[in-house]
Structure 1
Amino acid sequence: MPDAPEIKQIHEWFLHRGLPLVLTRRVRSRNLIARSAPMVSGVGALTAVTMLLAEVTGDRPDYGYALRLGVIGAVLLGAPFGLYVLHRLDTSRGEAGRRGAALLVMAIFVVVMPVTVSGWTGAAAAEAPLFVVITLLAVWLTYLGFGSIAAWAFRFAWVQLGALGTLMSRALPLLMLTVVVYFTGELWQLAARMTRQRLWQVIGFLALVALLFMVTTIRDEVRALREDRAENTDTARLLAATPLAVAAGRAVPRTPLSRGEQINVVAVMVVSQAIQVVFFTAGLFAFFLALGVIAVPDDVAVLWSAEESCAVGQPPCAGTWFGVHVPVPQTVVHMSLFVAVLSGLYFTVSTSVDPLYRERFFDPLIADVAVSLAGRDVYLELEQSTRHELP
């Protein structure tokens, strides 16, 4: 049985590979407050920076209010780096400092943020429960290992970004088709009359359809992978140069995945593919924004969308993005986002049948997950033997 440092290294290996639900609840509950603080600080920093940009780009900015938001955003943005430094100090003092810093970050988010946003009024007290709920949600997601899953999926998607570029080059016919659709007057009228709330509802519906498609496809892939591993995979070869390499030489039974483990494995694969879909959609959104600004004059945009200008003889109303004013007409923002998301849905479906994408992205993903599943079998065997050795 490995000693304590090796066990800790094994736990870190599973977390690094995005499989936190393989670990026991006791392991996942350790240092939960300190581990969830980076997520809280990230949400707080993103909120503060967005509100800061919205205030500065508004008609009558309050620079004192913007300065307070900037200070809070800077503190919360730098908090994860400080927590990381304290984490590297593997001493009792460093652990205590990390716990104290984590509690300070959460106090800033729960107390200082509402007061800064709403001032010393009853509105701050009314908004404080929302910040408390967000903090508790961050702690719960940390316990489930959401950060570990997202970090692994992002690293894998980033490494395999070349596969996205290859597929985008093969998707030029789709791009040409969507360009034609982009210059359709009826869609411009729909985009002009669609509120931002309704637009996000449509995007959420299309995203849900794409997510269900990915989950269904990847669940079958995981089942096939597990069956193939049970017959053809050499565990010792898969786990070479890993913390579990020493224990991988003996015969290890391959037990069925639990419900949580199945969800975990499917989740890491779905999130990694979803990140690539988001990259693709964001690239198309930027492309259509630039195309709309360059190719569609303001008077033509008003004519196509059959909308009124903000004032007589003036161009269409300026657009906003999460409250931040952008120098692009609102109709162009809506139209570009709508067409980009439709293209992203098509991209999600087409990747499942494209042999080049499967070779460049999906097959390496399957191979990487196979290593994680082999490690999971060895880890469970070690845990079982440890329980038998205890008096």
Structure 2
Amino acid sequence: MRQVHDWFLQRGLPLVLTRRVRSRALMARAAPAVAGVGALTAAVLLLAEWTGGDPQAVVLLRLAGITTVLAAAPFALEVLHRRSTTAARLGRRTTALAVMGIFVLVMPFAVSGLSAAALAEMPVFLTVTVVTIWLTYIGLGSIALWAFRFAWEQVGALGTLLSRALPLLMLTVVVYFTGELWQLSARVTRERLWQTIGFLAAVGLAFMVATIRDEVSALRQDRTRQSDPGALLAETPLARLAPGTPTPLSWPERVNVVAVMVVAQAIQVVLFTAGLFLFFIALGFVAVPPDVLVLWSGEQSCPVGVPPCDGTWFGVHVPVPQTVVHMSLFVAVLSGLYFTVSTSVDPLYRERFFEPLISDVAVSLAGRDTYLAMHREEPIR
């Protein structure tokens, strides 16, 4: 039964399992995510301090130490998880508690030093920890890991769509050299830019949810009649059990199924957008001379130095003008929104990405029907 539970978690369907199953070893399961958030935060602050112009050795050492400890914690937890001894389970629980203690009690002092600011930041770190534990309970990590693995396996579909979207990319390149957009990029604040990106991302997400919700409904109506559940579950821990009769999905299960498909597609959208962002960064750095950049953007002064102003990325100084960063980010996100719409209508992309995704989810739903049928016949412990 533990293999069955792990199978559902590995396939991103945690909400099929009972609350009691999802509560098992919750702290130990949430600890890697807490450690990852802490290590990423410390690493970004370390880079920001290092590139800030006047790095302090003590601060660098503190941030480097906390980054190393938290980055190593998930590997230690995985090693202990693979061992089934009582000592290993106790060590995993102790390590998980130590990770959360480091994140809540030590991390604020590593960031702000021995000051009142560190004490004021502790509730923030505690809130992040509690939210991470809750997200682990509802299975967000399981959904994200499965979606990332599937999206990475199907990354070749990106090249397919990119080759078919080349005419639009050429048009985007032309738009990239529009002076008015450069003036907007120079004057917009990073906060306003993120608000705009958030709005466009919300539009794209709403489109994906609406499209995939229809796909799930069609999947339950068509695939269950066309496919043999026994054949679908042939290579799974549920292979030796009698296939269950398809039953309507509960609303948490429907949200779970839609979420895994949305996250899988969203990861491909993010990869596509990130690739275009790097492309436009390189294009602006190579094709737009500094004097032309100043002319287009209308920059008059900078906090440090002369225009064009130096760029930053989450507080880390980068050797690219800030206007180029803003312009590239804005145009890449617009292209990513087009990519989101194209995925639902491009037949070749559906064949390369959507059909394997739907087939994979069909296996998960067949397993869900069998699991619930077994649960009705015999209580699962």
TM range (shorter): over 0.9
Say if 1:56 and 1:112 are closer, same or farther in 2 by CA, change over 3 A.
same
- State the distance in 1 between where 2:15 and 2:50 align: 43
Structure 2 residue aligned with 1:270: 262
2:19 to 20, 25, 39: 25
Structure 2 residue aligned with 1:42: 36
Matched, 1:224 2:215: no
- State the distance in 1 between where 2:263 and 2:224 align: 25
Shift of 1:121: 1.5
2:62 to 40, 63, 68: 68
**Given the two structures, how large is their TM-score scaled by the length of structure 2?**
0.98
Letter in 2 for 1:193: R
Shift of 1:311: 7.8
Structure 1 residue aligned with 2:291: 299
Tell which deviates more after alignment, 60-69 or 217-226. Answer: 60-69
Shift of 1:131: 0.1
The DSSP-based 3-state class of the residue aligned with 2:24 is: coil
Q: Are 1:302 and 1:309, in contact at CA under 8 Å, matched by a contact in 2?
A: no
Structure 2 residue aligned with 1:3: none
Structure 2 residue aligned with 1:187: 181
The DSSP-based 3-state class of the residue aligned with 1:307 is: coil
Structure 1 residue aligned with 2:53: 59
- State the distance in 1 between where 2:285 and 2:224 align: 56
Identity of aligned residues (%): 70
Letter in 1 for 2:354: F
2:245 to 238, 247, 253: 253
1:146 to 125, 130, 140: 140
- State the distance in 2 between where 1:289 and 1:366 align: 35
2:314 to 322, 332, 352: 322
2:113 to 111, 116, 119: 119
Matched, 1:362 2:334: no
Q: Are 1:178 and 1:339, in contact at CA under 8 Å, matched by a contact in 2?
A: yes
What's the Cα RMSD here? Answer: 1.4
Structure 2 residue aligned with 1:169: 163
Letter in 2 for 1:383: H
Q: Which runs of 5+ in 1 are unaligned?
A: 1-6
User: After superposition, where does 1:199-210 map in structure 2 within 5 Å?
Assistant: 199-210=193-204
Instruction: Show CA shifts across 1:202-254 (max 9, x none).
Output: 00000000000000000000000000133222110100011001003x5x221
Matched, 1:104 2:98: yes
Structure 1 residue ranges (4+ consecutive) displaced by more than 2 angstroms after TM superposition: 309-315
Shift of 1:58: 0.7
Shift of 1:313: 8.6
Letter in 1 for 2:49: E
- State the distance in 1 between where 2:76 and 2:199 align: 39
- State the distance in 2 between where 1:117 and 1:311 align: 25
Shift of 1:314: 3.2
- State the distance in 1 between where 2:325 and 2:115 align: 36
The DSSP-based 3-state class of the residue aligned with 1:60 is: coil
Say if 1:312 and 1:221 are closer, same or farther in 2 by CA, change over 3 A.
closer
Say if 1:30 and 1:186 are closer, same or farther in 2 by CA, change over 3 A.
same
Structure 2 residue aligned with 1:197: 191
- State the distance in 2 between where 1:235 and 1:118 align: 56
Tell which deviates more after alignment, 374-383 or 252-261. Answer: 252-261
- State the distance in 2 between where 1:96 and 1:314 align: 59
Say if 1:327 and 1:313 are closer, same or farther in 2 by CA, change over 3 A.
closer
Shift of 1:328: 0.3
- State the distance in 2 between where 1:294 and 1:54 align: 25
The DSSP-based 3-state class of the residue aligned with 1:352 is: helix
Letter in 1 for 2:349: Y
Letter in 2 for 1:110: V
- State the distance in 2 between where 1:375 and 1:56 align: 50
The DSSP-based 3-state class of the residue aligned with 1:247 is: coil
Q: Are 1:36 and 1:139, in contact at CA under 8 Å, matched by a contact in 2?
A: yes
Structure 2 residue aligned with 1:333: 325
Q: Are 2:299 and 2:307, in contact at CA under 8 Å, matched by a contact in 1?
A: no
Instruction: Show CA shifts across 1:89-116 (max 9, x none).
Output: 1111111100000000001100111011
Q: Which runs of 5+ in 2 are unaligned?
A: none
Say if 1:312 and 1:204 are closer, same or farther in 2 by CA, change over 3 A.
closer
Instruction: Show CA shifts across 1:115-139 (max 9, x none).
Output: 1112222111111000000000000
- State the distance in 1 between where 2:10 and 2:304 align: 58
- State the distance in 2 between where 1:342 and 1:27 align: 42
